[in-house]
Structure formats: C-alpha cells, structure tokens
Chains A and B, each alone.
Chain A
Amino acid sequence: MVERTPFLNFFTHVILFVGFVLCIAPFVVVTIAASHNLKDVNDVPMSLLPGSDFWLNIKTAWTTADLGPKLLNSFIMAAGVAAGKVMISALTAFSIVYFRYPGRTFIFWLIFVTLMLPLEVRIVPTYAVVANVLSPYQTILDLTGLSWLIEKVSGVQVSLSLGLLNSYSGLILPLIATATGTFLYRQFFLTVPDELTEAARMDGAGALRFFIDILLPLSRNNMAALGTIMFLWAWNQYLWPLLITTDQSHATAVTELKQLIPNVGGIPEWNIAMAGTLIVMLPPLIVVVAMQRWFVRGLIATEK
C-alpha cells in the first residue's frame, strides 16, 4: 500500500537525505584532501575548500604505486572471479535444480557448507593447497603407501608439485569456490515454469541445449547482478592477494594502496594516498553505473 501524506513524504525525504550525506561525506573529504598540497592536507582542521593540486597528486600517486599494471592485475582478477563465479554458479544450480541423481542432497549441503566457511576462515589450508595444488593427492599417496610402492617398483620417487603462488589462477580460483551465486541461480531456476522445460524437451532440446538456449538467456539479469557483485567483491579483496602475491608483478591495486600510506616518521603525504584511493575506486564505480539497470532487475526478479 502506498500512502500519500505530505508530512510522511517530508519525513522520508529527510531520512533519505541524512543517509545520502552519511554515505557521500567521506568521498567528499577524500576528494578534497586529494586536491590539497602537502602543507594544506596536514592543517588541523583541514580546509574543506578544494586545493589546486588534484591532477598533480593523481599523477604522483599513479607513478609512486605503479598503478597502471596493478590496476590491470586487479581488473584481470576481478573480471576472472566474476566470470568464473557466474559460470560455476549457473552450472551447479542447473545440476541441483534440474537433475535427480544419487547424492544430490549431499552435494547440495556440501555447497551450502562453503557459505559458512568463507575464505578468511580456511585461509591457511587454502594457502597450502594453492602453494601446491597437488599436495592433497601427494598426501593420499603417502598415507596409503602407494608412493612407497611406486618407488619400490619403478625407482621413481613420487613428488607431485604444482604451485599457483604469484599467478592469476592462484588469485582467482580460490575466490570462485563459494556458494553465494549458486543459491541466487537456484532461486531463479525454481521460478522458471516447468512447462518451459517440457516445451524444450518436446522440441527435442537436450539438457545442455536447454541450458544454453533457454536458461542462460533467461537469466541474463541474474548474471549481470551476480557479475557486478562479484566484481566489486573481488576488486576489494585485500588479505588473499596480499598473501599469495610475493612478487610485485602480480600485486593488485588494492594491496598496492598500502605503498601510498605514509609510514610512521615518513612524510605525511595523505594527499597522495587519497588521490590513489580515488583512482582505485574508479573502476568498480564505472562497473556499477554501467550495470545498474540489469543489476537491480536481477535482484528484484519480478519480470512480467
């Protein structure tokens, strides 16, 4: 029900405005700080009138933190995570919703459990696995005595090793393996009428054909929503990239911001740090603005 009373209208607008100010204020302060020179930015209190060094600070931040390649790294990682997540979520949800096979419920719960174990909780084992993807298999071979047997028989010592540290795959893959997207898709697939599935069967389409020709086009909005959320989430990752990129060439923009934050006893170049923050903030902002239309539609999911 929509009520129309002038007082309530005014009141809700006040609340909205307060919320808007709360959200926008930090950005305004950051932008103003990024435009000051070293002296002005360290004034207490800092002047809230914009200074004149904005572009200079941006340039300094860009070169100091080597943001060009770092932004590219971040972009590859975030886009990879978003794309991988969309693919794997759609496939897992398709399997859970449209097929009846033994162990389906068990697999469903396995996926569900990953929701309760975010990356931060299992970061140590995840690191170990990424450091050597084959280490679980090596362990199995060692424990069962198979590696001993192989060594005795062939004289070859089994030592499996495949490291993903300092690689894009290492950055991306562990972030893909979570369940959030699966459930978003599952909810959507459950709303697709059964008759549509049956019509496709009558038309001769097999499971994969149905998935590609009917389900994926229908879930465009969901894809956009999930892709956007995952892009932002991956872009803002800090702990994981910091942990596995020991080599500068694979570092991401968000972790590199650290370079710009003044050390204790160093020159307090907060204007440069703020300028760097603005640069790093820009790509996700562009993605959100560009995807906004589909994004909202994908989340409200009441297409008529």
Chain B
Amino acid sequence: MASITIRDVKKSYAKSQVVHGVDLDIASGEFVVILGPSGCGKSTLLRMIAGLEDISGGTIAIDGIVVNKLEPRERGCAMVFQNYALYPHMSVAQNIGYSLKVAGVPAAERTQRIQAVARTLELEHLLDRKPMALSGGQRQRVAMGRAMIREPKVFLFDEPLSNLDAKLRVQMRSEIRKLHRRLNATSVFVTHDQVEAMTLADRLVVMNGGRVEQVGTPGEVYSRPASRFVATFVGAPAMNMLEGTVELDGLSLLGGSRRLAVQRAGLAVGTQVAVGIRPEAVRLVAPGTAGALDATVDLVEELGAGRVIYVDLDGASFSVMTSEAVHPEPGSTVGLRFSPDDLHFFSSDTGTRIEVFKASVPEPAL
C-alpha cells in the first residue's frame, strides 16, 4: 500500500503538450478513477505513473519517494492493460508467474503463489492453457492475476474492461471492486465509461484537454459539477444547457423568450451564463401548468425502465428522463417542471461553476 503524490506533472511530445500541470493526491488504499474523453491525457498520466512514459515536467512520488527517474520495475506498480497483453506463447501459470521468474523467486515458492492467486481469481482449472484458448473474461482475470502476484504497492488499470461485452463488463466491474476491498491496494483506474467510473471510484478525477477539471467522490461530481464540461460529460443522457443573460431581476433564457427569476448576486447585468438541468431532474406535467415551461415532443427513446423524451424548447433541444408511465406522442405539447435547487449555473466564458445564484421557479415570459 502506498500513497501517490502528483505535482504539476506535464507531458509534451515534440510538437504538442498533452498534459498541462496536473496536481493530484491519492491516499493509501484508495480507488481513484480517472475519467475523461479519449485524448484527454488520462492514459498518458497513468503511463507516467507506471514509468512507461517519461515525465516532461513536475514530479510523481510514490510513498514519498520521487519516482521520475525510476524504471517501471523499481516503482512497485503493476498494470492491467486494455488488450490484456498476455504473452501468447506462455501458459496461464507462466503468464502469472513471469514477474516472479524474472525476480528470481525459487520455483517452489513461485508455484505456491501462482496457486494462491489462481484460487482467488478462480483460474485453477485453466493454469495449463494458453491465452489463445481463453475467453475474454478469463484473459482479463489472468491479466489481473499477473498484476496481483507481485503484491504491488499500486495497481494501475488502463481501460481494462473496454474489450469485454456489456454483461461481462458489469460482472468484472464488481469483481474488481470486491478484489480491491480484499487487497485494499492503492488503485488508479482509467476509463472513458462514466458508469464504470461512478461505480468503481472512491474518488473520481475528471480530465479534459490535459487538465484536471474536478476531483471528488462520484456523488459530488454528479451533484455539484465544477465546470460545464464535467456537467455535460458525467451523467447520461447529458445535462441540458440553456444559454442565458443576467438581467436586473433575474435571467433571460433562450434569447429572451423565457425568463428565470433568480437573485443577481453581484454579477453584472448582461453577463452570459449557462443554466444546466439534469434530464432526470425534470418532471413532465400537463401543458399550461403554472410555473412550467411548455415544449414540443420531438422523439421518445424507450429504455425499458424509463424513457428519454427529447423536446424542442423554442428551438433548443432539451431532454427529459422519466420513469413514470407517460408516453407522449411526438409532436404533442408537454409541460416541463423542475425545482430551482436542481439548477446548475456556469460562466459562459470560463465554464466554471457559479454558486451565487439562488433560483426561484421559472415563469414563462410575459
């Protein structure tokens, strides 16, 4: 077990900088998930922790020791790769035990430890097979076994579930979670799948464009997104965003067709803001209900347990998620109602969260 301290870490290639000064503290035994769209630098950050990429600037310390110049094997990290990266010519047992063989562990002890790991991962009956003769989920488990056997200080996962089918992914997810609870080793898990991120993480790190946008528990990230990017990236379907302008006694939305009565709280009149509301925080009511916004239904997506209803709100697309038994026809009019507490405000310029607003019920313009 070990803590990881990342200070102002940068990564640049010949022409471009892909990681811009990341600061992050990972406590011992913590399960941290780095979430972000592809190309956001999350894998690069993970590979810098592992020692597979050089660090262009800043420091990474594991257990207080700066590891910038250390070889991967000296850092005490184990990694699970996206494509498993099993050695195709070795049996499962040889794959799992290879790091011990390299380290010169005697054969008897090696066999014993391989057996122990195989028992944990329920791989005992497969030890003599070659990776080619295994299913995706089994290969994934072998890759985990290969990481576990070294009893590393830090586990690194580089999108390890993205090659599995949906059902297996859910199963492996809970297995990883259980395994972490038992081993309690510091883990860093990189993914672009937000469900994976939300379910696995003790703490979530959301990255975008080589920068950390927000660090927090999954609950915090979901309920109080620190930026417009996080708000729209976390949660499915994505949070609705409406552009608004600060006025003397509130906000005008959608170019002035709707108004929102909120306290101005120090923001200059004319400031552009974005108002966000999660689809699952919107309720459908009868059109014309007082305090509700009327909108036209565009499309209804059936999810089984609920429905996503896409509506047209004065030209802006807006989605509503409901589990109630309502089936509005496309083209019909519905009323949208939401609590002011569920609104999120972001600066239109910088995208950062604005906390000062206290919203009241929206009212239709004039």
Residue positions of A touching B, CB distance < 8 A: 193, 195-196, 198-205, 209, 213-214, 217-218, 220, 304
Contact = CB atoms under 8 A, between A and B. Distances in A.
Nearest to B99: A203
B85 A198 contact: yes
Nearest to A196: B85
B99 A198 contact: no
A199 B82 CA distance: 11
Interface of B: 50-52, 71-73, 77-79, 81-83, 85-89, 98-99, 102-103, 132, 146, 150
Contacts of B150: 203
A286 B82 CA distance: 45
B102 A203 contact: yes
B112 to A, nearest CB: 19
Contacts of A195: 81-83, 85
A195 B79 CA distance: 11
A197 to B, nearest CB: 9
Given A200-B98, A203-B146, A204-B73, 10 more contacts: A193-B83, A198-B79, A198-B81, A198-B85, A199-B81, A199-B146, A202-B99, A203-B99, A203-B102, A204-B72
A217 B85 contact: no
A195 B160 CA distance: 12
Contacts of B146: 199, 203
A92 B53 CA distance: 25
Given A198-B52, A199-B79, A205 B85 contact: no
Given A195-B82, A195-B83, A209-B102, A202 B89 contact: no
14 contacts: A195-B81, A195-B83, A195-B85, A198-B52, A200-B87, A201-B52, A201-B73, A202-B73, A203-B99, A204-B103, A213-B98, A214-B87, A218-B88, A220-B89
Contact of A202 (B77, B83, B88, B103): B77
* Chain A interface, DSSP helix/strand/loop, else mixed: helix
B72 A202 contact: yes
B37 to A, nearest CB: 21
Given A198-B52, A217-B89, A218-B89, A205 B83 contact: no
Contacts of B81: 195, 198-199
A203 B85 contact: no
B136 to A, nearest CB: 15
B274 to A, nearest CB: 40
A204 B85 contact: no
A203 B81 CA distance: 12
Contacts of B50: 202
Contacts of A203: 73, 98-99, 102, 146, 150
Nearest to B79: A202
A214 B95 CA distance: 11
Contacts of B73: 201-204
Contacts of B71: 201
Nearest to B89: A217
Nearest to A197: B85
Contacts of B132: 304
B85 A199 contact: yes
A-B residue pairs, 4 tightest by C-beta: A204-B73, A195-B85, A203-B99, A199-B85
Contacts of A198: 52, 79, 81, 85
- Which residue among A199, A214, A217, A218 has the maximum number of chain B CB atoms within 10 Å of its CB? A199
B48 to A, nearest CB: 13
Contacts of A304: 132
A235 B329 CA distance: 82
Contacts of A199: 79, 81, 85-87, 146
Nearest to B156: A202
